[in-house]
Amino acid sequence: MDRVKKLLKKHYGYSEFRKGQEETIESLINERDTLAIMPTGAGKSLCYQLPAMIYDGITIVISPLISLMKDQVDALNEAGINATYINSTLSYDEIDERLYMLQSGEYKLLYIAPERLVAPDFRQMMSHINISMIAIDEAHCVSQWGHDFRPSYASIAPLIAEMDKRPIVAAFTATATESVKLDILKLLNLNDPKVVITGFDRENLYLSVVKGRNKKDVILDYVSSHREDVGIIYCATRKEVDATYDLLMKKGYDVGRYHAGLTDEERKETQEAFIYDDIKIIVATNAFGMGIDKSNVRYVIHHNLPQNMEAYYQEAGRAGRDGEPSECILIFSPQDIMIQKFIIEQSIASQDRQNILYEKLQTMADYCHTSKCLREYILNYFGEEYEDETCDYCSNCKDDSELTDMTLEAQKIFSCIYRMDQRFGTTMVADVLKGSKNQKVLSQNFQELSTYGIMEEYAAKEIKAMMNGLIADEYLELEGNQYPVVRLKPRAIAVLKGKETVMRKMHKLAPKSEKDSELFTILKDLRKEISQREKVPPYIIFADSTLSDMSTYMPLNDRELIDIKGVGESKVKKYGAEFIKAIESYMKAKDIDPESRPNIHN
Ligand code: ADP
C-alpha cells in the first residue's frame, strides 16, 4: 500500500484516500475479486486505476458509456499513465493500431464497451496478452432489477470463464439495492468477493426543496447570485427546456440547451461547450448527463419533480464531484405530480408497472413535503440509517426561512375558488382575483363576483405561487390530470371560518458566500487557454479546488506547487512553469511579499 500511496501523490496529486478507496484497492492488490458500491463522485476510478499500475499485465475496463471513455483516457494520459480505449468512434485503422500497441505492452489500461468483448478479432487479441484485471464499471447494468439494464453485460462472466488465466474481477456501481447487489455478485460470477459499501451520503451537497414560489423567479434569483458558477438545470419536458433557455438567453447568461428534439450535431456542440467551460449553464431534459464527468458542476436545479428518487439522486449527484460544496435544488409545484402521472399513464402499458411507478412518484412527492432532514430521507430510502440527528446541510435542517401570516390572502383565494364553484384551474382563479379583463373571465361573467379584483395589487403569477403553496400545505387540492381544477380541502374551510390561521414559509436559498478572488480568475483564464491549446477539458488539467488552493497559497516553485492537492508530477512538468509565472506576476503587480503567504502545512 505504501507504493500505492506514492502513486496516488505522484500521478493524481492527492495525499489521502477517500472513504472506501483504500479498502477496495488493498483487496484488489491482494488479488481478490471485489465489488465496490460508492456514490457518484466518491472516486471509484482511482480504485482500479491504481492497482492497474501495480499489476504486471493489462487492466481492461468495461464501461457502457462510450462518451466517457475518451475523457477518462485523456485524464489518465494527463496524469502520466498510459491508457487507451477502443470503441465504435474509431476507424478500423485506429483500432488495429491500438490492438498492436496493446500487444507490445504500451498500455496499462484499456477501456472498452461490453459489446466489444464478443468481437472475434478482439477475443483473439485477448488470448495474446496478459490480462491482470477486468474492472466492470456501472456493474448494476447486469441486473434486470436495476434502472439501467444492459443485456450485453451478460456476456462478461462467460467470457471470463473461458480465459486461460482468470484475471481479478472488480465491479463498481453507485446504485445498488439489495437485489441488484446479489445479481451483480451472481451474474458477474465473482469469486469469494470482498464487498465494500461506503454509503450513499454526499456530504458536500447542500440539498434543498423550494415550494410555493414562481419557478422562473427562483431560477433567475439563483443564477444571478451565482454568475461565476457552472450548473445544470433539469426540466421535465422539451418545451420547458426551451422556455427556460430563452429566458436565460435574453437575460444575457452563457447558456446552452440539450434535449432529444435537437440534432445530434447541436447536442454534441452544446455538450462540448459545457465541458470546455464555454457555457456555464445547461438547461436539459434527463437525456443529458450520462457520460458527463465534469467535476466542477456547482449546482443542479430541478425545475420539475423527477419521477423517482433513483433518478433524482443520480441527476442531482452530478453536482460537486470534486468534493467542493455544491447545491442541489428541487423546485416543487403540485402540478408536477400531475405531469409525471400523465407521462406514466401515457408511456407504460402494464397496470402493475404503473402502480410501482406511482408509488415511487409518491415517495418523491413526500420528499418535497417532509419536514425531517432531507439527507436522512434520501439515505433511508436507499436502506441506510442516518446516525446524526440533523445534517445541518439541507433546507430542512438549516431552516432560516421566514414565517409570514397570509391568512387574509388565503381567505380571499379560498372564497374566490368557492364562488367559482371549484370548477377551474389555478390560472383562471388567479385571473379573477387579479381582476383580469381577458375573454375567458368575461365570458363566464366572473367580473360580477364579489371576489373579482380583490387581489389586484399582486401579479397573477404571485397569486398562482401562493396557491401552489396552499396546495403543498394541503389547504387546496388539484383534481384531474390534463386540466386540473383546484378545490378546497377541509382545512381551507376552517380558515374561511376564521378558526385557523395560515402561516407560510418562504424558503430562502443559501446565499453565495464569497466572490472568487482575482488570482483565482486569472488562473482559471490560464487553464482555459491551455485547455484550448491542448484540446483537453479544463477540469482535466486542474480541478477548480486545485486552482482555488493555488490562489490561496501562491506556490512559487515546483516544490511548493506539488504540495497543492490535485497537483501530480506529470502536471508540474507540463504546466507548472506557466502557473508559477502567472502567480509571480500577480504577486508583483499587487506587491505581495512571499513571506506573507499562508503556510500550507499549518
Ligand atoms: P466516481 O467514478 O465514483 O463517480 P470519480 O472516480 O470520477 O468518481 O472521481 C470523482 C472526483 O474525485 C475526480 O475529480 C477525482 O479526481 C476526485 N478524487 C478521487 N479520489 C480522490 C482523493 N483520494 N482525493 C481527492 N480527490 C479525489
Answer whether residue 385 shows pLDDT above 90. Answer: no
Work out the angle at residue 481's Cα, subtended by the Cα atoms of residues 478 and 487, and round it to the nearest 5 degrees. 20
Q: Which pLDDT band holds residue 516 (cuts at 50, 70, 90)? A: low
Cell readout for 9 is 501523490
Q: How far is the CA of 15 from the centre of ligand 1 (A)?
A: 13
d(CA 290, CA 69): 12
d(CA 539, CA 542): 5
d(CA 297, CA 317): 10
Q: Which pLDDT band holds residue 219 (cuts at 50, 70, 90)? A: very high
Q: Which pLDDT band holds residue 513 (cuts at 50, 70, 90)? A: very low
CA-CA distances (angstroms) from residue 161 to 33, 157, 304, 332?
A: 14, 6, 46, 49
Q: Is 519 exposed, middle or buried (0-12, 13-18, 19+ CB in 10 A)?
A: buried
Q: Choose the weakest-confidence range: 217-221, 347-351, 377-381.
A: 347-351
Q: Give nearest CA residue, ligand 1 atom 5.
A: 43
Q: How far is the CA of 42 from the centre of ligand 1 (A)?
A: 6
Q: Which pLDDT band holds residue 506 (cuts at 50, 70, 90)? A: low
Report if pTM > 0.75: no
CA-CA distances (angstroms) from residue 470 to 212, 407, 438, 474, 587?
A: 8, 11, 25, 6, 56
Cα-flanking dihedrals φ and ψ of residue 409, to 5°?
A: -60, -40
d(CA 314, CA 474): 29
Answer whether residue 507 shows pLDDT above 60. Answer: no
| Helix (H) / strand (E) containing 60 | strand 58-62
The 3 state secondary structure assigned to 165-231 is CCCEEEEEECCCCHHHHHHHHHHCCCCCCEEEECCCCCCCEEEEEEECCCHHHHHHHHHHCCCCCEE
d(CA 376, CA 374): 5
Ligand 1 atom at shortest distance from the alpha carbon of 17: 23
Q: How far is the CA of 25 from the centre of ligand 1 (A)?
A: 14
Q: Choose the weakest-confidence range: 248-252, 255-259, 391-395.
A: 391-395
pLDDT over 90, % of the chain: 58
Q: What is the pLDDT of residues 125-176, one digit of tens each?
A: 888 899 999 999 999 888 876 556 788 899 999 999 988 899 999 999 987 6
Ligand 1 atom at shortest distance from the alpha carbon of 21: 23
Q: Give nearest CA residue, ligand 1 atom 23.
A: 17
* Residue 409: closest CA among 221, 215, 212, 210: 212
DSSP string, 376-422: HHHHHHTT----SS--SSBTTTT--PEEEE-HHHHHHHHHHHHHTTT
Length of the chain: 602
Q: What is the mean pLDDT of the chain?
A: 89
Q: How far is the CA of 295 from the centre of ligand 1 (A)?
A: 9
Ligand 1: list residues with CB < 6 Å.
14, 16-18, 21, 38, 40-46, 293, 295, 321-323, 543
d(CA 49, CA 537): 20
Cα torsion angle, 74, 76, 80, 83, sign: negative
Give pLDDT, residue 511.
46
Q: How far is the CA of 75 from the centre of ligand 1 (A)?
A: 12
d(CA 270, CA 259): 10
Q: What is the residue type of 132?
A: S
Q: Which pLDDT band holds residue 455 (cuts at 50, 70, 90)? A: very high
Q: Which pLDDT band holds residue 450 (cuts at 50, 70, 90)? A: very high
196 and 27 Cβ atoms separated by less than 8 Å: yes
Give pLDDT, residue 322.
85
